[in-house]
């Protein structure tokens, strides 16, 4: 099959297995992938040692798969919308992507189906690797080069009509697929995301210091959350969407999401308990209840102790005296990390 027809057939397969977006980039090092070296050297990766360890693979995908020629980038929209306002209990908030089934499973499973579909199409084994946030490939960079959108000043990939609430995956392979044209940058003079970040995590437009980002401090960071960043965390207990929520490419709603015949968005839809989780519910979870509440969920990544730590910060920020007994329990507990965050919260709760 000649490359033009092969590319079209493979893209059709990607849409048939449930992806909303698909594009192709050449498997090669680019100025954007090479920028990772400086970013890591500046220390912006914080404790994410896995980024530091495999930088050279992240710079050039041919180091991941010898003989790789193309990167097929795919996208799946997931935006469940603004969580509803609540009255009564003080509640926390989790990032919009995190309340449903783990996207690694949903997107990863579809990528495997795509890889199998390609082999069936060509009637031969195809050397390939699939990644969704799980391997040494910079998905965003290849998605942008493959025309799925541009990387905004908030460092997210933004599609011109579907916005940035999109899971990305890549299929790196030996196939000589024809690259797409990249989408131009449409950020213009806007800087809404840079100004809205409550922890000043952007060193500059397009440059994030992960160590100050709430998505990093509440998920990746294992120890204490720096005091200077706690107030900015507000009610967030896992991740953050603020730089996406203010982006005009997300707020211009009204556009329909693509059809979802396989029910993938349904699987990603936040479970009721995580839409606006009551802080006292989180603070009262024991490890077994936490395990049940986070089964097959991306929330697991913060671990039990991390989620409680985050909820203690949110409790302190709530100013809700009703939470005192739930916070006091941790202030008097044996876990010194939780006890310190609980004492911090108690100083902010009246009574």
Q: d(Cα 308, Cα 315) in Å, to the nearest integer? A: 10
Q: d(Cα 293, Cα 237) in Å, to the nearest integer? A: 14
CA 2 from chain center: how many Å?
A: 36
Which CB atom, from 213 or from 247, has the smaller least distance to ligand SF4?
Answer: 247
| CA-based nearest residue to 149, from 136, 137, 138, 162 | 162
In angstroms, give the least distance from the CB of 250 to ligand SF4.
8
Which CB atom, from 55 or from 246, has the smaller least distance to ligand SF4?
Answer: 246
Q: d(Cα 202, Cα 206) in Å, to the nearest integer? A: 8
In angstroms, give the least distance from the CB of 204 to ligand SF4.
12
**Terminal Cα distance for the chain, rounded:** 74
Q: d(Cα 333, Cα 346) in Å, to the nearest integer? A: 14
* Strand ranges (E), the chain: 21-26, 70-77, 93-94, 128-131, 150-151, 157-158, 166-173, 202-204, 207-208, 236-238
Q: d(Cα 276, Cα 272) in Å, to the nearest integer? A: 8
Q: d(Cα 311, Cα 299) in Å, to the nearest integer? A: 13
Which CB atom, from 25 or from 193, has the smaller least distance to ligand SF4?
Answer: 193
In angstroms, give the least distance from the CB of 243 to ligand SF4.
7
Query: Nearest residue to ligand SF4, using CB?
Result: 152
Three-class DSSP category at 91: strand
Cβ pair 58, 131 in contact under 8 A: no
Which CB atom, from 171 or from 187, has the smaller least distance to ligand SF4?
Answer: 187
Which CB atom, from 53 or from 191, has the smaller least distance to ligand SF4?
Answer: 191
Q: d(Cα 49, Cα 96) in Å, to the nearest integer? A: 26
In angstroms, give the least distance from the CB of 185 to ligand SF4.
8
Which CB atom, from 189 or from 336, has the smaller least distance to ligand SF4?
Answer: 189
In angstroms, give the least distance from the CB of 77 to ligand SF4.
17
Which CB atom, from 58 or from 153, has the smaller least distance to ligand SF4?
Answer: 153
In angstroms, give the least distance from the CB of 36 to ligand SF4.
20
Provide the binding-site residues for ligand SF4, judged by CB under 6 A: 152-154, 187, 190-193, 246-249
| CA-based nearest residue to 309, from 336, 347, 275, 277 | 336
Cβ pair 343, 230 in contact under 8 A: no
In angstroms, give the least distance from the CB of 144 to ligand SF4.
13
Just list the catalytic residues. Answer: 133
Question: What is the number of other CB atoms lying within 10 angstroms of the CB of residue 117?
Answer: 17
DSSP string, 2-34: -HHHHHHHHHHHHHHTT-SEEEEEESS--HHHH
Q: d(Cα 299, Cα 277) in Å, to the nearest integer? A: 13
């Amino acid at each position: 099959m000649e490359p033009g027809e092969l590319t079209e057939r493979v893209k059709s397969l990607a849409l048939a297995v449930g992806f909303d977006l698909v594009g192709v980039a050449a498997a090669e090092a680019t100025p954007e992938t090479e920028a990772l070296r400086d970013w890591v050297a500046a220390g912006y990766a914080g404790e994410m040692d896995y980024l530091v360890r495999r930088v050279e693979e992240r710079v050039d995908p041919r180091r991941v798969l010898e003989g790789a020629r193309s990167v097929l980038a795919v996208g799946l929209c997931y935006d469940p919308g603004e969580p509803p306002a609540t009255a009564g209990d003080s509640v926390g908030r989790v990032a919009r992507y995190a309340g449903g089934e783990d996207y690694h499973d949903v997107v990863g499973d579809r990528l495997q189906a795509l890889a199998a579909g390609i082999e069936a199409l060509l009637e031969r084994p195809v050397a390939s690797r699939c990644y969704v946030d799980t391997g040494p490939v910079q998905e965003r960079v290849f998605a942008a080069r493959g025309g799925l959108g541009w990387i905004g000043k908030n460092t997210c990939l933004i599609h011109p009509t579907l916005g940035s609430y999109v899971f990305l995956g890549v299929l790196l392979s030996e196939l000589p697929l024809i690259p797409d044209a990249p989408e131009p940058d449409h950020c213009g003079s806007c800087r809404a995301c840079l100004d809205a970040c409550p922890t000043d995590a952007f060193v500059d437009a397009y440059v994030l210091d992960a160590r100050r980002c709430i998505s990093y401090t509440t998920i990746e960071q294992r120890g204490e959350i720096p005091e200077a960043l706690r107030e900015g965390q507000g009610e967030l207990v896992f991740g953050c969407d603020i730089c996406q929520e203010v982006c005009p490419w997300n707020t211009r709603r009204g556009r329909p999401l693509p059809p979802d015949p396989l029910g993938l968005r349904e699987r990603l839809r936040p479970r009721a308990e995580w839409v606006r989780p009551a802080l006292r519910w989180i603070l009262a979870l024991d490890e077994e209840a936490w395990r049940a509440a986070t089964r097959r969920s991306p929330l697991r990544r913060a671990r039990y102790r991390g989620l409680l730590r985050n909820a203690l910060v949110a409790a302190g920020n709530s100013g809700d005296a009703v939470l005192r007994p739930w916070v006091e329990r941790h202030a008097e507990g044996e876990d010194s990390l939780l006890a310190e965050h609980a004492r911090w919260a108690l100083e902010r709760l009246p009574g």
